[in-house]
Amino acid sequence: MELLILFLASSLLCDAYARPPSLSEPFTARNVAGRSGSAIVSDVPVVSEGGNITHAVVTTNWAGVVIETLPAGQNFQTVYAQFTVPTQSQTAKGAAGSASIWVGIDGATTGATILQTGVDISVSASGVASYSAWYEWFPNPSVVFDGMVVNAGDVVIASVVMINSTTGVAGVTNESRGNVSSIELSAPNAQDFAADGILVPFSNFTPVTFITGAFTNTGALVDPSATGTIFTIQQNGTVLTSVSVATPDTITVKHT
Ligand SMILES: *[C@@H]1O[C@H](CO)[C@@H](O)[C@H](O)[C@H]1NC(C)=O
Ligand SMILES: *[C@@H]1O[C@H](CO)[C@@H](O)[C@H](O)[C@H]1NC(C)=O
Ligand SMILES: *[C@@H]1O[C@H](CO)[C@@H](O)[C@H](O)[C@H]1NC(C)=O
Ligand SMILES: *[C@@H]1O[C@H](CO)[C@@H](O)[C@H](O)[C@H]1NC(C)=O
Ligand SMILES: *[C@@H]1O[C@H](CO)[C@@H](O)[C@H](O)[C@H]1NC(C)=O
């Protein structure tokens, strides 16, 4: 569990499976698309009022904060983020698009897996917005939480907990009503995934603010802004997101 992935808005992956990135590994073409992997383009400077982050990693499809380091001998156990489900709009008339708002923890012994959960947002070509809460222990496919209705304006908490190297829990809570959907999952076989995916167009959405944190197996709280790296999305030379850190636990992703 070296890599913790927090509070990311990403271009939604279209049924594709890709290795999650490691900041210390060179980017390869197989680190494609979607919430399961991000293609690192370059670094840019950022302003972070609440923390000490001075640069962002530019990717094709992830925006948010990634924490890679933690106190010696500890593992990430829990990550959570509270956010309000955004309102969506089309980037152009007739343009369908999607994004995903989620948290996740990279697997322990199986470094190519990600235990993750969140909310997918999509707008159709005719302008109809849809929302769904999902969970996934990547590379196993994502599954929609049965009966969990999510809409723009709902305050939700998404969280994952690693119980041990083979068992984890993913959950989404609707704070407004106290609805909770959670599930215990078994780690996938990391050998199973196939490469390559297709980026679906990134939809437009109102800014998403994450109130967030992570705990290690000793119960220590890790501040995203103190130790994390900001990720921001650039596609075809255009920067699509801006990420700001207001306080140590408050991160906002805006579609620019
Ligand atoms: C959410 O709570 C409402 C009652 O407030 C209930 O009718 C509904 O079935 C719950 N949904 C889930 C997914 O638990
Ligand atoms: C969550 O709460 C909001 C507002 O109270 C409601 O509109 C929505 O349907 C709820 N979602 C679930 C899953 O119950
Ligand atoms: C992991 O936790 C699950 C659920 O508590 C348990 O059934 C399983 O035996 C544990 N596995 C290991 C390797 O400790
Ligand atoms: C930023 O760095 C300074 C000096 O190293 C440190 O005192 C401060 O606690 C850091 N702030 C955060 C939010 O990590
Ligand atoms: C990037 O540009 C190419 C060529 O114009 C186009 O086919 C592709 O859809 C664009 N990709 C994105 C993510 O906008």
Residues 22-64 have pLDDT tens digits of: 332 222 222 223 344 444 555 555 544 455 555 677 877 778 8
For residue 147, give the ligand 2 atom closest to its CA: 13
pTM, entire model? 0.79
Task: Report residue 2 CA to chain centroid gap.
Answer: 16
- pLDDT > 80? residue 242: yes
Name residue 238's beta-bridge partners.
Answer: 235
- Which of ligand 4's atoms lies nearest the C-alpha of 52? 1
Domain with 242 in it: 4-255
State which ligand 5 atom lies nearest to the alpha carbon of 238.
14
**What mean pLDDT comes out for the span 151-163?**
93
Residue 187: pLDDT band by 50, 70, 90 thresholds?
confident
Question: Which of 49-53, 84-88, 96-100 comes out lowest in average pLDDT?
Answer: 49-53
The first and second tokens of residue 165, run together, are 């190297």
Tell me what the mean pLDDT of segment 120-141 comes to: 88
> Are the C-beta atoms of 133 and 238 separated by less than 8 Å?
no
Residue 100 corresponds to which amino acid?
S
Q: DSSP letter string over 36-81?
A: T---EEEEEE---SSS---EEEEESSEEEEEE---STT--EEEEEE
Distance CA 61, CA 251 (A): 17
Range with the lowest mean pLDDT among 39-53, 128-142, 162-176, 184-198? Answer: 39-53
pLDDT reading at 110 higher than 50: no
Average pLDDT (211-222) is: 86
User: Which residue has a Cα nearest atom 7 of ligand 4?
Assistant: 52
Helix/strand/coil for 203:
coil
**pLDDT attached to residue 88:** 93
CATH number of the domain enclosing 241: 2.60.120.700
Tell me what the mean pLDDT of segment 193-212 comes to.
76
Residue 203 to residue 130: CA distance in whole angstroms? 12
**Mean predicted lDDT score pLDDT of the chain:** 74
> If pLDDT is split at 50, 70 and 90, which confidence band does 5 have?
low
Cα–Cα distance, 79 to 92 (Å, whole number): 35
For residue 108, the model assigns a pLDDT of 40
Token couple for 72: 């010696």
Which tokens go with 106? 């990279």
Statement: residue 133 has pLDDT above 70: yes
Residue nearest to atom 4 of ligand 1 (CA): 177
Number of structural domains found in the chain: 1
For ligand 2, the distance from its centroid to the CA atom of residue 25, given in whole angstroms, is 41
Ligand 2 nearest atom to the CA of residue 148, by list position: 13
For residue 124 and ligand 5, the question of a CB distance below 6 A is answered with: no
Exposed, middle or buried: residue 117 (CB in 10 Å: 0-12, 13-18, 19+)?
A: buried
Helix (H, G, I), strand (E, B) or coil at 148: coil
From 199, 236, 239, 255, mutation site for ligand 5 pocket: most ligand atoms within 8 A of C-beta:
236
Tell me the pLDDT band of 140, cut-offs 50, 70 and 90.
confident
Q: Is 52 in the pocket of ligand 4 (CB under 6 A)?
A: yes
